[in-house]
Amino acid sequence: MVTIIVTEIRKWKRNKTVWAILFLTVLLGVFAVERACHISRNSPLMDSFGDLYTLAFKSLTSLFLPIVLGIFSTTLFFDEHKNDTLKALLIIPVSKAQLYFSKVTVVTLLSAGLSLLTFTFCIAGGLIAGGFPDFNVETVMQAGLLFIAGGLLVPIALLPIIFLAALSKGYILPIGATLLCLTPVIIAPSVLMGIHPLASMLGIYAYISDAALEMVETWAYMKITTVSPVSCMLSMLLIGAFSAALSLVALQNQSY
């Protein structure tokens, strides 16, 4: 399995999509540093390190990461069809389950990598801009935990989209579904917590730190008191497992 994952990563050498994703993530990081440098510490928008990392985190995970990972996972599956490499892989043999899980792992690694990159920019912002009274090991660790959680939870939340990517032999359906999936979360995240995987993530983030709680409450326009992180996690895992099972069935039934 490790070999399959390693080769999966090697396939992305010189790939423009990956470079574009990295470039946009760096831009996002630079934006966070710029905000830290240019907004006064007297402003409630940037008077703590919590404000900086939640700003960067929200920018990363609310829209950017789901869209980017939706596109990336779609390309991962569709390009095997487009390049006609799937047949060659299957007769090695690489099983369809191995193929599926290796691609999901690559999506997760990319997500975690982008999260950690943004986290690094947050620390750089904290150091360069200075003046954050709460910039200490504890808040940095809380920020790190939040970014790790985001990096790992977004791919789980996107497993239904990955199912569509595995099912369809085109870009339009999964990418369209990603956008469609995001819309209700943007409009009414509080209603969907515990139901919709992307909204359920918020219910988990809220329990990581005070700054994260504040971020989620502003994001969802609600007080997070009744939402259980366990039920949100269970809901995400159930939907994810169901989507993974469906993906495997869809792949098994495909002819080449």
Partner 1 sequence: MSDYVIETKQLTKVYGDQTAVNAVNLHVKKGQIYGLLGRNGAGKTTIMKMILGLTSITSGEANVFGKNIKGQEKRVYPRIGAIIETPGFYPNLTGTENLEIFARLRGTAAPNAVKNALEVVGLPYKDKKLFGKYSLGMKQRLGIANAILHDPELLILDEPTNGLDPIGIAEVRNFIKDLSASRGKTILISSHILSEIQLLADDIGIIDHGVLLEESSMSELEKKNRKYILLQVSDVPKAALILERQFQQKNYSVQDDHTLRLYDTSLDMGAVNKELVVQDVTVISSGLCNDTLEDYFKRITGGEGIA
Residues that bind partner 1 (CB under 8 A): 3-4, 6-7, 10-15, 79, 83-95, 255-256
Three-state secondary structure call for residue 204? helix
| Choice between 226 and 252, CB closer to partner 1 | 252
Structure tokens at 106: 């690559």
In our burial notation (b when 16+ CB lie closer than 10 A, e otherwise), range 139-165 reads bbebbbebbebbbebbbbbbbbbbbbb
- CB 67, min distance to partner 1, A: 22
- When the beta carbons of 98 and 228 are compared against partner 1, the nearer one is 98
Q: Indicate the residue among 83 and 226 with the shorter CB distance to partner 1.
A: 83
For CA atoms 7, 9, 10, 12, the dihedral sign is positive
- Given a contact cutoff of 8 angstroms between Cβ atoms, the answer to whether 54 and 214 are in contact is yes
Closest separation between CB of residue 51 and partner 1, Å?
40
Least distance to partner 1 from the beta carbon of 11, Å? 5
Q: What is the largest distance, in Å, between two alpha-carbon atoms of the chain?
A: 63
Instruction: Give the E-state strand segments of the chain in sequence order.
Output: none
* 67 residue type, one letter: I
> Between residues 18 and 123, which has the closer beta carbon with respect to partner 1?
18
Q: Count the residues in the chain.
A: 256
- Least Å distance between CB 155 and partner 1? 23
**What is the distance between the alpha carbons of residues 182 and 196, in angstroms, rounded to a whole number?**
10
Least CB distance to partner 1 at residue 125 (A): 34
CB atoms within 10 A of CB 43: 9
Q: How far is the CB of 135 from partner 1 (least distance, A)?
A: 41
Nearer to partner 1, 85 or 226 (CB): 85
Q: DSSP class of residue 60? A: I
Measured CA to CA, the distance from residue 238 to residue 244 in angstroms comes to 10
CB nearer to partner 1: pick between 89 and 116:
89
